[in-house]
Structure 1
Amino acid sequence: MVKSKLRGGYDVSQVLNRDGTHRHPQSFSGSVAHDAVLVLDPSPGENFGHPVFLFYVDVNVTKKRCLHMNGVYLDECLTLALKSRCQNQLKRWQVGWLPGGTLRGRSITVGRAGRLVERASGGLCVIHFLPLVVGVGDSNLTQKLRCVHGEFATCPQLLPMGSPSLPISSCELNKNTRRCHQQPLATHLSCRLYQTCDHAVLISGWRQQMTFQRHIHNLQRFYRMLRINGFHKDHIKTFFASGGQLPDLENVHPATEKAAIRNHVSYICRKQHCADTLVLYLNSPTRNDGTMLLWDADLKERYSVSELLTDLAGCRATRVLLFVDQSYSGVLSKRLRSSQKHLNVGLLNVTLAGAPCNVIPPLTDGELRKEYQGCQNLPTALWHQKQRQIS
C-alpha cells in the first residue's frame, strides 16, 4: 500500500517527463486538488503494468456530497480514480460498496484475504502505474507518494537512479528528449567470420519509483546463469534503466537507447552464421498491449510487441529463446504462436546452448563446452555452402 501524507492538498499527474515537467496535468478523472491520495497495489511482487487502484481522500465532505461524487463515506470521502482518456471514458459508472466487499459498478472485488482483484469483465480505464502526487503550489513537482506497509507486503527497496547522459547532437531520439550513451554499442564486432556463438540481450527499463533492487537481482541471476552455460561476457548485452555500473555485470547500456537495442537485435538476427542461440530476457514495465516502457511514456522509448517481432522476423539464429519476466506476456506469446516468421522462436528439446537433452550417456561438461557452449568454429565448407544457399 502506498499513500501520501494526509493533509495539505495534493494534485495528481500520470507521469513525469525527464526534465521534471508533467506530461498530462489531468490524466485521471476528477484530477484536482484533494486532501490525500491512496494507492493500493494488489500485486506488489510483479513488475509495474498491472492494475493499481488509486483513491482520492477528501475530509470535511458531507456524506450526501460524498455519495453524489460516487464516493464511499468513511468519516472521510473515498473516491476511486480512473483514467480520463480511455476507451470506456464515456461509459456511465455507478460506484458504491455492496455487501460482501464488492465495489458496485467496478471491475474489482475484495478477496477473502483483503486482496483487490480485477475482474475480467472490464477495467480498461483502471490505472496501471504509480501516479505523480505533488503538493498544491509545488513548482518543483516533488513526489509525495510514499510506501506504507502492514501485514500485506513490505515496501520495495528503491534504487538511487541517475539521469541519463547530457544531450549531444548525434542522439537517436527526438529533439525534445535526445540523449546519447557516451560509449556507443559496437554491434558490428559481435559476429566473426567462420564462427557461430551464443548471444544474449537483457532489457530492464524505466525510472526510479518503478525500478527496485530486485530488478538488479533479476539481471544478476540471469547473467550468472548465462555465464554458467558458456555465454561469453562480450556476447551478453544488458540495457538497464539509465545505465551505469551494475555489480557483477559487464556491457551495461541505458535502456533509453531504443535504437541501439533494436539495431543490435536486428544485426545479430540478420548476420548469417552469427548466432547459434539468441536469448532475450525481458524484465520491464509494460502497457496492457505488451509494449515495454524503456524509460518513460515517450513514444520514442516504448518497445512494442510489433517492433520486437519485426526485429526477430526470419532470424538466422539457430534458435531464439525469449524469457518474458514482465506483465502481459501473453500478448507476445499469442502473436508468436500465430506467426509464420518466427518458427525458430520457442523452447525446443535442447539445452540453452543447443545440446540435445536425451543423449545416452549424457554429455560431459567438457563435451558441452567444446561442442555446444559459447562459440564454435564453423567449417569453411559449411559456411560457403550456406552462402550459396542464400545467394
Structure 2
Amino acid sequence: VLAILPDSGGVVSSKPRAGFGVSQVLNGGEGPHRHQQPFPGSTAHDAVLVLDPSPGENFGHPVVLFYVDVNVTKKRCSHLDGYYLDECLTLALKGRCQNQLKRRQAGPERLMGNGHSRLAGGALRGGTITTSGASRLVERAIGGLCEVHFLPLVVGVEDSNRTQRLRCVHAEFARCPQPLPMGSPSLPVSSCELNKNTRRCHQQPLATHLSCRLYQTCDHAVLISGWQQQMTFQRHVQNLQRFYRMLRNNGFHKDHIKTFFASSGQLPDIEGVYSATEKAVIRNHVSYVCRKQHCADTLVLYLNSPTRNDGTMLLWDANLNGIADLKERYSVNELLADLAGCRATRVLLFVDQSYSGVLSKRLRGSQKHLNVVLIQSQPPWAGLLNVTLAGAPCNATPPLTDGEMRREYQGCQNLPTALWHQK
C-alpha cells in the first residue's frame, strides 16, 4: 500500500527498505516503462498504522503515521531507524516540508491528548501496541514542520481506482467517529455522465446574481465544510445544521444562506446546500455579495473545513485522488482578496477549524478589512461587536421589541431610492 496526503503533493516518505519499490510492483519485472509510475521513487509497504492523539479535534492536527512491514529482521529494522514489534514500524513524514531536519519540542501531554488510536491498512500480525507503548511511539515520532496533519488516503499500488483502505479501529481509547451517511458510492465529478442523471451527479447551479435585489439590503451567510469522507463526519453535518438554525432564528432568509459541503452524494438536509467541489463558485459568490453596493448588511462566513498549517482550507476532493489540488484548496490569501474592501456593513468570520491564528494575524495588520471581524475568545474588534448578529444595537433604551428587531434589522430592509443611487 501507499499513503497519500492532501498537503504533501503525493505519498508520504519513509526510509527505503529492502523490498519492492512501486515501479517494481507495477511493472511486474517486465521493463521499467511498462506502466506509468504514479509516484516515482516511492516505496510500497505491507500496511499503514495511524495514531490520532486528538480524535475530537478538526483536521489538521498532528497525527503519527507509520509504515508497517513484515519479514524484516530486527537488525534491518534498527538500521532503518524503525520500531520492531514482530513487524517493523518506520515513521512516515510529510513530503515537501520546509525543513526535514527541524523538529519541534513537545511534551507527552500535548502529543497524546487522551491517547486515542486508529489502525489501518491491515492488522499487525503477531504484534500488539499497548497504551504505554503507543505513548512512547508518539513521543518519539512527532516533530517539526514535517509532521502529518491529516488522515492519509491508503491505496493498493495496483489499485487504479484509489479505493480508501484506511479503517478506524475502536481500541480501548476512543470510539470511531460517525461517518457520513452514504446513499450511494461517491463518484468523481468526471464520472457523472448525462445518461446517469442521478441526484449524486446533478450539479445544481448557483444563481449568485439573484442574491442582491434592487433597493434592498439583507443579511447574508456562507457556510463551508468538508474534504473527504474519511475526514468529514456526522458531527460536521450537525455543525452546519445548528449554525443554519441559529442564522434562521436571527432572521436570515433561507435564500440568503448558501452552504457548500462535501459532494452531491453527501448533501445534508439543509435549504440552499451546494457541493464544495468548485472553488470558483464559492469565491464568485462571496465576491459578488461583497462588491455589490448595499447588497449585504451583515455577511457571515462559517468555516468548518480541514485546514493546513498555513491556514488554507481544504474543499472537497472532487477527483478522489487524495491530494488537495489547486482548485480544491481555499487559501488565506484568496479569502482575504475576496473580502478586501467588502461593502457589507460588517463581515463576521466564525472560524471553527484549525490554525485560525494565521487569518487573525493577517486581519489585524490589514487596512483593507476594517469591517471584518474574526470571532474568537478575545476579539480586538470590540466596537464592531457591540451589535447583534443582524446589526441591532445591544444597548437600545428602551429595548427593541421583537417586532422592531424583525422589521428594522433582521433579514432584509428596503432602502430609499436616493440612498441607493448615491456614489
Query: What is the TM-score when the length of structure 1 is the normalising length?
Result: 0.81
CA distance in structure 2 between the partners assigned to 1:192 and 1:131 by the alignment: 45
SS at match of 2:155: strand
Give the one of 195, 211, 214 matched to 1:190.
Answer: 211
SS in 2 for 1:300: helix
Residues 231 and 36 (structure 1), Cα distance of their counterparts in 2 relative to 1, 3 Å cut:
same
Report if the CA contact (8 A) 1:69-1:79 is conserved.
yes
Structure 1 residues 319, 371: CA separation in 2 closer, same or farther (over 3 Å shift)?
same
In structure 1, distance between residues paired with 2:297 and 2:71: 66
Partner of 1:163: 187
Partner of residue 256, structure 2: 235
Where does residue 325 of structure 1 map in the other structure?
A: 352
Q: Work out which of the residue numbers 24, 39, 51 in structure 2 matches 1:40.
A: 51
Task: Say whether the 8 Å CA contact 1:47–1:285 is kept in structure 2.
Answer: yes
Return closer, same or farther for 1:33/1:265 CA change in 2, 3 Å cut-off: same
1: distance between equivalents of 2:161 and 2:392?
56
Q: Deviations for 1:321-368, whole angstroms, at most 9, x for unmatched residues? A: 000111111111110111000000115211100011122332221111
Identity %: 79
Which stretch has the larger CA shift, 40-49 or 281-290?
A: 40-49
How many residues in Structure 1 have an aligned counterpart in Structure 2? 347
- In the TM superposition, what is the alpha-carbon distance from 1:140 to its structure 2 partner? 4.3
How big is the alpha-carbon RMSD for the aligned residues of Structure 1 and Structure 2? 2.8
**Residue equivalent to 1:12:** 3
2:226 alignment partner, one of 205, 211, 216 = 205
In 2, the alpha carbon distance for the partners of 1:271 and 1:140 equals: 44
> 12, 19, 34: which is aligned to 1:27?
12
Q: How does 1:142-157 map to 2 (within 5 A)?
A: 142-157=163-178
Residues of 1 paired with 2:402 and 2:204: CA distance? 36
Structure 1's 78 and 277: CA in aligned 2 closer, same or farther, altered over 3 A?
Answer: same
SS at the partner of 1:309? helix
Change (3 A) 1:67 1:220: same
Match for residue 96 of structure 1? Answer: none
Instruction: Judge conservation of contact 2:313–2:329 (CA < 8 Å) in 1.
Output: yes
- CA drift of 1:138 comes to 4.2
Question: Contact 2:203/2:264 (CA < 8 Å) preserved in 1?
Answer: no
Structure 1 residues 350, 15: closer, same or farther in 2, change over 3 A?
A: closer
Unaligned runs of 5+ in 1: 1-9, 17-21, 94-104, 170-179
User: For the Cα contact (< 8 Å) 1:29–1:83, is it kept in 2?
Assistant: no
Q: Once the two structures are superposed, what CA deviation does each residue of 1:112-147 show, in whole Å capped at 9, x if it has no partner?
A: 86646889x952111121112234544544322110
Q: Secondary structure at the match of 2:327?
A: helix
**Secondary structure in 2 aligned to 1:12?**
strand
Q: TM-score, normalised by structure 2?
A: 0.75
SS of residue matched to 1:193: coil
Q: Is the 8 A contact 1:48 1:129 kept in 2?
A: yes
2:288 pairs with 1:290? no
Counterpart mapping for 1:1-391 below 5 A = 10-14=1-5, 24=10, 26-30=11-15, 32-89=43-100, 91=101, 107=105, 109-111=107-109, 115=115, 123-135=144-156, 137-159=158-180, 160=182, 162-163=186-187, 165-166=189-190, 182-243=203-264, 246-296=267-317, 297-346=324-373, 348-384=385-421, 387=422, 390=423
* Structure 2, unpaired ranges of 5+: 16-41, 116-134, 194-200, 318-323, 374-383
